[in-house]
A and B are shown apart, each in its own frame.
Chain A
C-alpha cells in the first residue's frame, strides 16, 4: 500500500529503505539526503499535493477544508500551503480517538498515545509504511553520526507509549546494529549492560546522562576507559549548548541532539550531523515552517518563531501545518556535510505554557488540579524550574490555606502526600514547599505560575 504516485523522484525513495548501504558510505539514504534545494522543493510540492488529497479521507480535514473554502486542487505551489488552516493539539484531542485518521483502522498496525492528563489523550496511528518510514528516518540519523551495523546501540528511553523507546529501537535495528532495549532507569544495570555488551552508542535524555555519570563515579566506572561508548543521542528535553559540551566532556564522547514528537511519528524528525550546527529536519518527510506565534505569518530565516510541521509521507494520520508550540529558528539550508535539508536551531522554548522536564511534558494545569484536591492548600502556587548541577528540577511552592496544626509531623505528612499525588500525575517528583498565605507574588491579571531558571533558557 502506498498512497503516493510514483515518478522519477518518488521511485528513488519509496520503500527503498530496506537497503543498508556499504559502511564506507556517509549517507544512509544518499539520494534523498543529498537532494539539491530545487529537488527538495519539487518533491515537497508533489508530496504535499498527494498528502492533501489523501487527507480528504479524514472526516476532520474534509470538514476543515470545506469550512476554509479550499480544495486540494488549490495547492499549486509550495507557498499555497499557507491557504491551509493550522492543525493544533486541541484538534487531536477533539477528534479523539480516531477522528483524524485518513486510512481505515484495518490498515493501521500501531497506536501511540499521550497520557492525556490535560483532557482527552492524543492518539497517533501508524500503518506498516508509517512504521517503516519512521524507522528509516531514525536509521538515517544514526548513520549520519557514524553508527554502522557493527555498533552496539543501547536505548535508555522509556518503552511503551513513549515513542523514544520503539522509535529508536526500530531505527537502530534498521541500521543493523545490535540493539539493547534497556529502557529507562536502573542505572547500575544500564552501566553493566554498557560494559558487558560493549555498548558504543547510547540514547538518553540529557539529564539522565548526567545521572548515569554520577552512578558510574560511585561504582568506579570510567566511561572513557571502561566502556566503548563513542556516540550519544540526546533529546526529548531542552538543553543548552553548554550542557551538551559538559556531557561530551564528562563522557568522552560526541553527543548529538535529536528532535522528535509523537504527532509526527516520534524521534527521527530532525537530528544533528557531525557539524553539530543545527538539526537537519528531513524535508523529504516534512514541510518546515517557522511562524510568528501571534500573527501566524512566516518569519525570516534566522528569526525565532513557532515551528510548524506538515507530514509528507504519513498514511494513517497525516497532519497539515501542525503547530508544535516549540520556538526555534532556521539556521541555514546548506551544510558542509553535503545535506541541504534545513538546519533548525535547538529548541528555545514554548509558545504555550507546557513544561518539558526530563523528557516529560507537563502542563501547569495538571499541577494545579492536584494541589486543589488538598483543602489545606490555598489557590496560589508557583512552579520554579532550576538546573542544579546539570539536573533539571521542579519546585512547587504552594500557600497554606489554614494552619490546621502546629505539629511538624502533620505538616511534613501533608508535604509528602502532595508530593506523591503530583508524582502520580506528572511522573516526576518535584520538591514541594509550603509557604504562608500571601507570600507568593500575585501579578495583575493572569498569575505567573512558572518561573524557568534552567540554564537552557538563560
Chain B
C-alpha cells in the first residue's frame, strides 16, 4: 500500500539542490512531485519519482544523505471537500499526519503523507476503502 519516497537531507545554502537534481537528471529519473521543508540550518527535500530504488542508489553512491521513506498516496476526486473528508477519516481513527503534500495526477488529486502511527493508517484505508496509488502507478 505504501510507496517509496526519497527523503534527502540538504544544507540550507546555495548550490545544494542543483547537485541533487543534476544527479537525478543524468540517471534519467523522472520527478513526479517534490517538496522542500526547511529549518534555519537545513532542509529535507522529499521526492516522488518513477524509479525510487535506482534513484536512492545513485544518490547514496554520490555521498548524499538520503533515505527511502514509506509514504501513503491517496487518490481523490478533483473536487472541493475530498481532501477534507479523506483526512477526517484518518483523524477519526486517531491517526495524525507527520507531513503531507498534494498534486494532480491524470485528472485525480493525490495526497501524499506519512502518518503516526504508520501501520494503523493502512488498516483504516483498507477498512474504509479509500483509494490509493502504488509505485506501479508512477513507474
Are A and B a genuine interacting pair, yes or no?
yes
- When distances are taken between beta carbons in the complex, the residues of chain A under 8 Å from B69 are 406
Given contacts A407-B98, A408-B44, A434-B42, contact A439 B11 (CB under 8 A): yes
Stretch at the interface among B22-30, B60-68, B83-91: B60-68
Q: Which of B8, B9, B42 has the most CB of A within 10 A?
A: B9
- When distances are taken between beta carbons in the complex, the residues of chain B under 8 Å from A405 are 67
- When distances are taken between beta carbons in the complex, the residues of chain B under 8 Å from A406 are 5, 7, 44, 46, 67, 69, 114
Let me know if A437 and B63 touch, CB within 8 A.
yes
Q: Which of B7, B16, B41, B46 has the most CB of A within 10 A?
A: B41
A436 within 8 A of B: yes
Q: Which of A400, A403, A407, A439 has the most CB of B within 10 A?
A: A403
B37 within 8 A of A: yes
Distance to closest chain A CB from B47 (angstroms) = 11
How many residues of B are counted as interface, with CB atoms below 8 angstroms from the partner's CB atoms? 22
When each residue 438-457 of chain A gets 1 if its CB lies under 8 Å from chain B and 0 otherwise, what string results?
A: 11000000000000000000
Interface residues on A, range: 10 to 19
When each residue 75-119 of chain B gets 1 if its CB lies under 8 Å from chain A and 0 otherwise, what string results?
A: 000000000000000000000001100000000000000100000
- When distances are taken between beta carbons in the complex, the residues of chain A under 8 Å from B66 are 403
Let me know if B41 and A434 touch, CB within 8 A.
yes
Let me know if A408 and B65 touch, CB within 8 A.
no
Distance to closest chain A CB from B99 (angstroms) = 8
A408 to B39, CA, bound (A): 9
Cβ-closest chain B residue relative to A439: B11
B65 interface neighbour in A402, A407, A412, A433, Cβ under 8 Å: A402
B10 within 8 A of A: yes
Cβ-closest chain A residue relative to B5: A406
Distance to closest chain A CB from B73 (angstroms) = 15
- When distances are taken between beta carbons in the complex, the residues of chain B under 8 Å from A403 are 7-9, 65-67
- When distances are taken between beta carbons in the complex, the residues of chain A under 8 Å from B39 are 408, 412
- When distances are taken between beta carbons in the complex, the residues of chain B under 8 Å from A404 are 67
A436 to B13, CA, bound (A): 11
Given contacts A403-B9, A435-B42, contact A408 B37 (CB under 8 A): yes
Cβ-closest chain B residue relative to A404: B67
- Say whether chain A's binding surface is mostly helix, strand, loop, or mixed: loop
- When distances are taken between beta carbons in the complex, the residues of chain A under 8 Å from B5 are 406
Let me know if B67 and A436 touch, CB within 8 A.
no
When each residue 103-116 of chain A gets 1 if its CB lies under 8 Å from chain B and 0 otherwise, what string results?
A: 00000000000000
A419 to B99, CA, bound (A): 26
Let me know if A436 and B9 touch, CB within 8 A.
yes
A407 to B5, CA, bound (A): 13
Interface residues of B in 1-52 (CB under 8 A from A): 5, 7-11, 16, 37, 39, 41-42, 44, 46
B63 interface neighbour in A412, A433, A438, Cβ under 8 Å: A438
When each residue 385-429 of chain A gets 1 if its CB lies under 8 Å from chain B and 0 otherwise, what string results?
A: 000000000000000101111111001100000000000000000
Let me know if B37 and A436 touch, CB within 8 A.
no
- When distances are taken between beta carbons in the complex, the residues of chain A under 8 Å from B10 are 436
A298 to B76, CA, bound (A): 81
Distance to closest chain B CB from A207 (angstroms) = 23
A247 to B33, CA, bound (A): 54
- When distances are taken between beta carbons in the complex, the residues of chain A under 8 Å from B37 are 408
A406 to B7, CA, bound (A): 6
Distance to closest chain B CB from A415 (angstroms) = 8
Let me know if A433 and B67 touch, CB within 8 A.
no
- When distances are taken between beta carbons in the complex, the residues of chain B under 8 Å from A402 are 65, 67
Let me know if A436 and B44 touch, CB within 8 A.
no
- When distances are taken between beta carbons in the complex, the residues of chain A under 8 Å from B42 are 411, 433-436
A435 interface neighbour in B11, B63, B64, Cβ under 8 Å: B11
- When distances are taken between beta carbons in the complex, the residues of chain B under 8 Å from A439 are 11, 16
- When distances are taken between beta carbons in the complex, the residues of chain A under 8 Å from B63 are 437-438
A437 to B63, CA, bound (A): 7
- When distances are taken between beta carbons in the complex, the residues of chain A under 8 Å from B46 are 406
Cβ-closest chain B residue relative to A407: B98
Interface residues of A in 301-348 (CB under 8 A from B): none
Q: Which of A403, A406, A433, A435 has the most CB of B within 10 A?
A: A406
Distance to closest chain B CB from A128 (angstroms) = 54
What would 6 more interface pairs be, CB under 8 Å, given A408-B39, A436-B65, A437-B63?
Answer: A403-B9, A406-B44, A407-B98, A435-B41, A436-B16, A439-B16
Chain A positions within 8 Å of B, measured between CB atoms, are: 400, 402-408, 411-412, 433-439
For this complex, 14 residue pairs linking A to B, each with C-beta atoms less than 8 Å apart, are A402-B65, A402-B67, A403-B8, A403-B65, A406-B44, A407-B114, A408-B37, A408-B39, A434-B41, A435-B42, A436-B9, A436-B42, A436-B64, A437-B65
> 9 closest A-B pairs (Cβ-Cβ)?
A406-B7, A403-B65, A403-B67, A433-B41, A438-B63, A403-B9, A406-B69, A436-B65, A400-B65
